[in-house]
Amino acid sequence: MPPEFLSGGIYVPDRPERTPGHHGTFLRKAKAGLPAVQAEKDITDLNQYIMDQKLYVFDTTLRDGEQVPGCQLNTIEKIELAKQLEAMKVDIIECGFPISSPGDFKSIVEISKIVTESTICALSRAVEKDIDVAADALHFARRKRIHTGIGTSDYHIRYKFNSDREEILQRAVAAVKYARKYVEDVEFYAEDAGRTENEYLARVVEAVIKAGATVVNIPDTTGYCLPEEYGAKIRYLFDNVPNIDKAIISTHCHNDLGMATANTLAGVLNGARQVEVTINGVGERAGNTAMEEVVMAIKCRKDIPVKTDILTRHFYKVSHAVSTLMRMPVQPNKAIVGRNAFAHSSGIHQDGVLKNRESYEIIDPVDVGVNDSTIELTARSGRAALNHHFLRLGIHMNKEELDSAYDKFLKLADCKKEINDSDLYIIAGVTQDKLKQRMHLKYLQVVCGKNSIPMATVKLIIDGEECVATSSGNGPVDAAFKAVRSLVHRKITLEEYLVQAITRGTDDVGQVHIQIENKGNIYYGFSANTDIVTASVEAYVNAISKII
Ligand code: KIV
Ligand code: ZN
């Protein structure tokens, strides 16, 4: 649509894709209100314009999401996830904080060479050296963005920087100007904006936009805001920052009070046109805003006047990949991607869904990639059939991986009636992880039961050598873990031990997540098996193998 003045003085700008700022002009003009004589057609055009507005999706799973202690990803894992994020049409992928570690730097370099459609973003503080390193890391990126910023709340200004508002404002401006020397696309974050006084925040936003910021991020760093308050903060900026139409305003909400999705949507409803999110809502403490929740809310609520380009059918698969690679189980009742998200157990609900799915479902599970139909895979299926199903799920295996996965599949098919997509994801994840492991569980026997002393014998292969130990304990898992520890001669503390059934039924696969501590470092282990004691010991061995 060409730029056009509608009667009544409402300016409807054209909608160049990926041009920051145009919505700001629109919102300011529209905010003035429609004159009483406004024709009905104009209102329809206006609504259509609003409906067509693009919301940029900025994924920070690989940066803020990955800050969870013990969930760090290596470069190969980050590349794998970045490819999946690009395939689902994420607009911007924040891949790391390059000055913080050589691993982050390397990941950004490698992802920049491979991902060409999404913009690659690198984080920095408002420090010249950080920005130099970020620019360096982004050297190969086809589309690149530097994300720089500084704390703007009085807590940060006084206690973190021992500074004052004027000095922080100058540092913010200087950082944006410096980053603009390297790249055209510079995003500024006002850390702890959620607790920053609005008047000062508006001054900072105006100044950084003037300095060249194309996107301004308003993080609720501590997850303190309530939705109405966060929405009002964004609205305040649109009302009080004269040059706000020159930049995109972004949300970045943490989930400490369980408000991240609500706050993000409140931000969008008040003019924000970029959302910073992570898959499964992973992130430090209570996590970040979950991408799948925001995108699906926008998709199924027609009264939220924006659209994203996200291919939502990828959600289930990407959620699995993040959960497996980060060793972070998805809670069963997690919105959109939890295993119970579409499970109707009460008779009344089942009856209603059978008569008309929409009686109890607001989202078609197929829209988020949940395929609830049972896959025709049996113990008689061959490698080709298995590989066909892996490929259907977007899992690519080399010959060695497929052979190993096939062995696991046959064992599972022997003791489980239905092999479903979740089982296949588990088989793939465990296989690809195990092949890299230097220590394996070869044999396990446990004796336990009422009025008996639990005993376990384990045989481990450590760098090709077989070693055996037997131990007693207060249960079969305790006994087996003691036996394993006696073979690895390390002080290991079990920090977390979580067993989950994938679907239902006593023949189901149990997945086990384990967190251990050794010399102050945290290591994660994962396994899945129809025998939960075996799964537990395998997960324990998987975690310990990362130490050795
Ligand atoms: O939560 C936060 O404030 C951040 C910034 C570094 C963007 O993650
Ligand atoms: Zn954050």
Give tens-digit pLDDT for 93-120. 999 999 999 999 999 999 999 999 999 9
- Whole-angstrom distance, CA of residue 48 vs CA of residue 71: 43
CATH number of the domain that residue 81 is part of? 3.20.20.70
**In this structure, which residue's CA is closest to atom 8 in ligand 1?**
64
What is each CA distance from 393 to 51, 356, 361, 386, 426, in whole angstroms? 33, 28, 24, 11, 12
Query: Distance, CA 218 to ligand 1 centroid (Å)?
Result: 9
Classify residue 269: in a domain, yes or no: yes
Task: Locate the DSSP E strands across 473-543.
Answer: 493-501, 510-518, 521-529
With the most atoms of ligand 1 within 8 angstroms of its CB, the residue from 63, 224, 252 to mutate is: 252
- Nearest CA to 459 out of 471, 448, 449, 447 is that of 471
CA distance 143 to 18: 12
Q: What local confidence, expressed as pLDDT, does residue 161 receive?
A: 95
Q: Does 336 fall in a domain?
A: no
- For ligand 1, whether the C-beta of 238 sits within 6 Å is no
The closest alpha carbon to 319, from 435, 432, 422, belongs to 422
Instruction: Give yes or no for residue 219 CB within 6 A of ligand 1.
Output: yes
Q: What does the pLDDT read at residue 8?
A: 27
* Cross-strand partners of 233: none
Ligand 1 near 255 CB (within 6 A): no
CB of 221 within 6 A of ligand 1: the answer is: yes
Nearest Cα to 176, choosing from 135, 214, 217, 218? 214
Q: Are 123 and 251 contained in the same domain?
A: yes
pLDDT of residue 33: 39
Q: Whose CA is nearest to atom 5 of ligand 1?
A: 191
Residue 191 in contact with ligand 1 by CB distance below 6 A? yes
Examine the domain organization and report whether 358 and 469 are in the same domain. no
Ligand 2 center to 42 CA (angstroms): 40
Give me 391's structure tokens. Answer: 């490929």
Same domain, 157 and 252: yes
196: burial class by Cβ within 10 Å (0-12, 13-18, 19+)? Answer: buried
Are residue 427 and residue 443 in the same domain, yes or no?
no
CA of 193 to the centre of ligand 1 (A): 10
The number of the ligand nearest the C-alpha atom of 123 reads 1
The neighbour count for residue 280, using CB atoms within 10 Å, is 28
Sign of CA dihedral 432, 435, 436, 440: positive
Same structural domain, 419 and 491? no
Q: Classify the C-alpha dihedral 307-308-310-312 as positive or negative.
A: negative
* CA 429–ligand 2 middle distance (angstroms): 28
What tokens appear for 27 in the block?
A: 């919102």
Could you tell me if 381 and 412 are in contact, meaning their C-beta atoms sit under 8 angstroms apart?
A: no
In this prediction, residue 17 carries a pLDDT of 36
Q: Dump the DSSP string for 30-46.
A: HHT---TT--HHHHHHH
Backbone φ and ψ for 285, nearest 5 degrees, come out as: 50, -120
- Decide if 522 contacts 515 (C-beta within 8 A): yes
CATH number at residue 494: 3.30.160.270
Domain-terminating residue out of 434, 463, 488: 434
Give residue 58's pLDDT. 98
**Domain membership flag for residue 304:** yes
Residue 83 sits in the same domain as residue 195: yes
My answer on whether 128 and 152 are in the same domain is: yes
- Domain membership of residue 36 as a residue range: 7-46
Predicted pLDDT at 13:
31
Query: 224 and 161 in one domain?
Result: yes
Which pair of tokens denotes residue 518?
């050794």
Ligand 1 in reach of 64 Cβ (< 6 A): yes
Residue 335 lies in a domain: no
Residue 356: exposed, middle, or buried by beta-carbon count in 10 A (0-12, 13-18, 19+)? exposed
φ, ψ at 73 (rounded to 5°): -105, 145
Nearest CA to ligand 1 atom 7: 189
Between vectors from CA 57 to CA 259 and to CA 282, what angle results, nearest 5°?
A: 50
What span, in angstroms and rounded, lies between the C-alpha atoms of 264 and 91? 17
What does the H/E/C string look like for 423-470?
Answer: HHHHHHHHHHHHCCCCEEEEEEEEECCCCCCCEEEEEEEECCEEEEEE
Burial class, 400, CB count within 10 angstroms (exposed 0-12 / middle 13-18 / buried 19+): exposed
Q: Nearest residue CA, atom 6 of ligand 1?
A: 191
Residue of 217, 222, 256 to mutate, ligand 1, most atoms within 8 A of C-beta: 217
**338 found inside a domain:** no
- Which atom in ligand 1 lies closest to the alpha carbon of residue 123? 6
Distance of CA 254 from the midpoint of ligand 2 (Å): 6
Distance from the alpha carbon of residue 241 to the mean position of ligand 2, in angstroms: 24
Compute the distance from residue 149 Cα to the ligand 1 centre, in Å. Answer: 9
**Do residues 115 and 30 both lie within one domain?**
no
Does the Cβ of 276 fall within 6 Å of ligand 1?
A: no
CB-ligand 1 contact for 189 (6 Å cutoff): yes
Residue 330 domain flag? no
The verdict on 124 and 154 lying in the same domain is yes
**pLDDT the model gives residue 10:** 27
What's the CA-to-centroid distance between 357 and ligand 1, angstroms?
40
The DSSP 8-state label assigned to residue 280 in this structure reads G
Do 38 and 63 have their domain in common? no
Give the chain's residues under pLDDT 70.
1-52, 343-355, 357, 371-376, 417, 432-436, 501-507
**97 is written with which tokens?**
């904080």
Helices assigned H by DSSP within 212-290 = 227-240, 260-269
Question: Based on the structure, what is the number of domains in the chain?
Answer: 4
Beta strand 439-447 with 455-462: parallel, antiparallel or unpaired?
antiparallel
Ligand 1 pocket test, pick from 147, 156, 189 with the greatest ligand atom count within 8 Å of Cβ, gives 189
Q: Which ligand is nearest to the CA of 191?
A: 1
- State in Å: Cα 189 to ligand 2 middle: 10
Both 243 and 154 in one domain: the answer is yes
